[in-house]
Amino acid sequence: MRRRRHRSEALFKVHSRWESSQVFSNGDEFFSALESAIDGASERIDLESYIFATDRIGERVCAALARAVGRGVRVRLIVDGIGSSSWARALRAWAKQTGVQFKVFHQPPWERWWQGGEPGPRRTRLREVLRRLNNRNHRKVCLIDGQKAFVGSMNVIECHVPSLSGAATWRDTGALVAGEEVGVLARSFEWIWYGTLRRLALRLRGAGRLAESSELVRLNTHRRQRQENYLDLLVRIVGSSRRVWITNAYFVPDGSLLRALAAAAGGGTDVRVLVPRFTDVWFIPWVASAFHLGLLRAGVRVFEYTGTVLHAKTMVVDDWALVGSSNLNHRSLLHDLEADVVLPEEKDRTALERQFMIDLESAQEVTLSTWQERSWFERLLGRGLLLFKYLL
């Protein structure tokens, strides 16, 4: 075991470091830090969020962004056409009034029709609808002067904030990082901000690295990145020697990940997976439970969080820690844009480990006996929904 551990740590050692980093497991602290950073920005703010609601927390962030524009800071905001569909029109009007540069990522065609655009040929409409519905910007990133970055899975919506949502607050995790590799996220924002023709021009000019990842930043703006990131994750899990602790809100793994987790558990690694009992997507717990039996038989410990809605996406594999927006499902692997950061500092890893153990106190462990007690309807529905896992 000692020889395996030495080989694993040498192979997966992270050489880069952030200048500073901080983990947030409380939405009040996260958004207070975000507003403070926005108020301290002097040059530019680039923010992208899958959901940007015009509720109380959205109004606070909007007010901070408007103050930044008022003192001469360039502010750009991207929201997702599906995730923020209920608020996009109000945000567009607000942005026009305040001077914030605003874009909707893959705006659904019916939104343009409502705004008076031409519907176009029926065949084009259908193809466009399907493409835009299935390709989303799921990232939650705010860049401050190209030097600091807020990342994680907290959307701009008050369900993440205890002072506003009380006992119904979602359990979530975010991080603030600063350093040279924030530039990777900044270049990726530019790649998303510009349209297809501008991207082509940038690539022809040799600027294709706009969409590249780094040792500390994991992006999936193109297929090769997705494949490399996933292969790296699988190899890390299989090569782990001490622990694989996963918290994931929408756990719909493919066969490769299931085999990697089983191999790690079979080799003596402490493998634990924390998933939600309650979620905003009603069928996800039933789908996730379809994988529990195989994991349990392989020695993986599975826990269901029962405190409230669990929305966090974090991972600790030995001394490698990850926080971001990526789920362990086909949407993140194949379709949606995501952004994750590696946190190599011991203090951040310790914070994630501590929160994981706190979360387990509000979770119920799934055992072979409790799994078998589930109704035939739940098992059948979970298995049936797996037919659509490519879209989940």
Q: What's the CATH code, domain 20-204?
A: 3.30.870.10
How far are the Cα atoms of 18, 272, 330 from residue 230, in angstroms, in the given order?
23, 19, 11
For 11-68, how does the pLDDT look when each residue is reduced to its tens digit (9 = 90+)? 677 778 999 999 999 999 999 999 999 999 999 999 999 999 999 999 999 999 999 9
Lowest mean pLDDT among 193-207, 210-224, 244-258, 363-377: 193-207
Do residues 153 and 24 make contact, with C-beta atoms less than 8 angstroms apart? no
CATH class of the 216-391 domain in this structure: alpha beta
- Within the chain, all domains assigned CATH 3.30.870.10 are found at 20-204, 216-391
Q: What is the pTM of this model?
A: 0.90
pLDDT category of residue 293 using cuts at 50, 70 and 90: confident
Q: Quick one: 42 exposed, middle or buried, by C-beta within 10 A (0-12, 13-18, 19+)?
A: exposed
Q: Identify the three-state secondary structure at position 213.
A: coil
pLDDT digits (tens, 9 = 90+) for 156-171: 999 999 999 999 999 9
**Ordered DSSP codes for 312-341:** -EEEEETTEEEEES--SSHIIIIISB-EEE
Residue 1 has pLDDT above 50, yes or no: no
Q: Using 50, 70 and 90 to split pLDDT, how confident is the model at 381?
A: low
CA atoms within 13 A on the CB side of 44: 12
